[in-house]
């Protein structure tokens, strides 16, 4: 079995637990996930199956979330799973103040990851160090938040705001909740989180464990193909002889774009590659067999298709 699974992660288990459970359900050794979700979080968890685990690095990186932030509260983990550090009623707070503050976090920002996170420092994950009482200073990292949209506001002593957030890789929504509270000087923590989009997969198309188990029992489960998961990459096609050479690690001069009959000049003209540019592409044999991921290297003298990941070297 080879391909991808768009899993709807339930609350209360880790992303690693999800991988282990899918391994058992599908009786498959090679399963990997494309981006950790906290145990309390729900939603899209892309999983790669079989040889497709080698393709996780090529999935689109952007993500989207529905998040609820509770204001007036600070916790050790920056969400409601941690111990409360402070809780001060802020019933005076207005929605307009929070919406104005949120504008500070759109664009490229410096963000310090939560103390309880999977980031490694000297071979140890931060949450392991934090649980053992060792707090390590972590440097801020540059992340990008493309959009923050307010969905709902619930006033009260500890008001909550629901947000739709679209962001780049490495963004922690728990850190956003913490930093929003700090900016307002009242404290803030993440109350709930659902990932609605990740790496090209949408929540509406995801499968729960129960749905997956039912499909497996009926023999009806089909993984998402590489054609769909990697559709953001241009596809190129090789002849049978060139496919064999490419799968053996050789660079190829003669290839064509999907749905085009012309070869080298079409590649250069249609993709409009500047000289010395590099582009990742899906590579297929002319019988539509998926071979792997290649990189087009374009120079003033020649355009080459170079192997990056070859899934079957016996083609």
Tell me which residues are annotated as active site. 38
Residues 161 and 95 sit within 8 Å (Cβ to Cβ): yes
Torsion of CA 14, 17, 22, 24, to 10 degrees: -170
| Helix/strand number for the chain, H first, E second | 8, 18
- What is the CB-side half-sphere exposure of residue 267 using CA atoms within 13 A? 28
Whole-number Å distance between alpha carbons of 135 and 88: 25
SS3 state at 54: helix
Beta-bridge partner residues of 6: 46
Q: How far is CA 100 from CA 30, 64, 97, 104, 139, in A?
A: 46, 21, 5, 8, 27
Tokens 């040889």 correspond to what residue?
A: 51
Residues 172 and 117 sit within 8 Å (Cβ to Cβ): yes
Strand 160-167 and strand 63-71: the pairing is: antiparallel
CA 168 from centroid of its chain's CA atoms: 8
Q: How far is CA 6 from CA 119, 148, 230, 293, in A?
A: 24, 24, 14, 21
Residues 138 and 123 sit within 8 Å (Cβ to Cβ): no
User: Across the chain, which distance is largest between two alpha carbons, in Å?
Assistant: 72
**78 exposure class (CB count in 10 Å sphere: 0-12, 13-18, 19+):** buried
Tokens 């799968």 correspond to what residue?
A: 247
Whole-number Å distance between alpha carbons of 228 and 201: 10
């Amino acid at each position: 079995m080879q391909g991808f699974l768009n899993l709807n992660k339930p609350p209360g288990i880790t992303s690693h637990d999800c991988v282990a459970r899918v391994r058992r359900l599908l009786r498959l050794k090679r399963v990997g996930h494309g981006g950790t979700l906290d145990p309390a979080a729900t939603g899209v968890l892309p999983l790669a199956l079989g040889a497709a685990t080698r393709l996780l690095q090529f999935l689109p990186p952007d993500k989207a979330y529905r998040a609820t932030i509770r204001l007036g509260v600070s916790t050790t983990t920056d969400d409601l799973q941690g111990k409360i550090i402070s809780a001060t009623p802020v019933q005076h707070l207005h929605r307009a103040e929070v919406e104005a503050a949120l504008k500070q976090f759109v664009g490229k920002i410096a963000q310090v990851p939560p103390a309880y996170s999977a980031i490694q420092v000297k071979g140890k994950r931060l949450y392991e160090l934090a649980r053992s009482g060792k707090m390590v200073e972590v440097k801020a990292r540059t992340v990008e938040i493309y959009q923050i949209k307010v969905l709902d506001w619930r006033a009260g002593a500890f008001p909550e705001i629901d947000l739709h957030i679209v962001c780049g890789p490495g963004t922690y929504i728990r850190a956003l909740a913490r930093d929003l509270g700090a900016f307002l000087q009242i404290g803030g923590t993440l109350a709930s989180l659902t990932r609605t989009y990740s790496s090209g997969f949408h929540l509406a198309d995801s499968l729960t464990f129960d749905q997956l188990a039912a499909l497996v029992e009926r023999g009806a489960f089909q993984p998402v193909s590489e054609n769909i998961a990697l559709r953001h990459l241009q596809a190129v096609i090789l002849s049978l002889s060139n496919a064999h050479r490419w799968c053996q690690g050789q660079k190829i001069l003669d290839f064509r774009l999907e749905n085009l009959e012309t070869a080298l000049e079409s590649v250069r003209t249609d993709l409009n590659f500047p000289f010395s540019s590099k582009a990742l592409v899906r590579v297929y044999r002319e019988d539509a067999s998926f071979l792997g991921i290649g990189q087009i290297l374009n120079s003033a003298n020649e355009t080459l298709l170079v192997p990056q990941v070859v899934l079957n070297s016996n083609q």
